[in-house]
Amino acid sequence: MASKRILVVDDEQPILDLLEEALGAQGFVVHSALDAAGAVELVKEQIFDAAILDFNLPDMDGVMLHRQIRQMDEELARNTVFTSGLVQTDNHMGYYVAHGGGFIAKPFDVQEVVDALLRLWGEP
């Protein structure tokens, strides 16, 4: 797991700070963006092993962002965990299951995020 590169996208700075600190302490290298535009720029510039995407971003929703990421990096798109504090429709949940690594509802425990990342790579 050491030095796996994680992209975290959330429009709430405290959540980014929390995940950067907690995932960094687990040995992940974390890069973050507060919006979809920032995330797209990071994906253009760097290679990531996984992404954690908030569904509700100020400039586009997580599904649209995920589709853009998939056009740039299919493997990263497969290794995506979605998060949201909003109630999700069956349509959205189906998208998460079919196209990403799953969904975690906010508020979440950081260990839930770590466990979701480990499952992406088939680790216990």
Return the pLDDT at 21: 96
CATH match for 5-109 among 3.40.50.2300, 3.40.50.300, 3.90.79.10, 3.10.20.30: 3.40.50.2300
On the question of pLDDT at 95 being above 70, the answer is no
Give the model's confidence band at 123: pLDDT under 50 very low, under 70 low, under 90 confident, else very high.
Answer: confident
What is the average pLDDT across 56-69? 91
What is the average pLDDT across 54-62? 89
pTM over 0.85: yes
CA distances (Å), origin 85, targets 27, 42, 60, 81, 99: 26, 24, 16, 14, 20
What is the average pLDDT across 10-20? 95
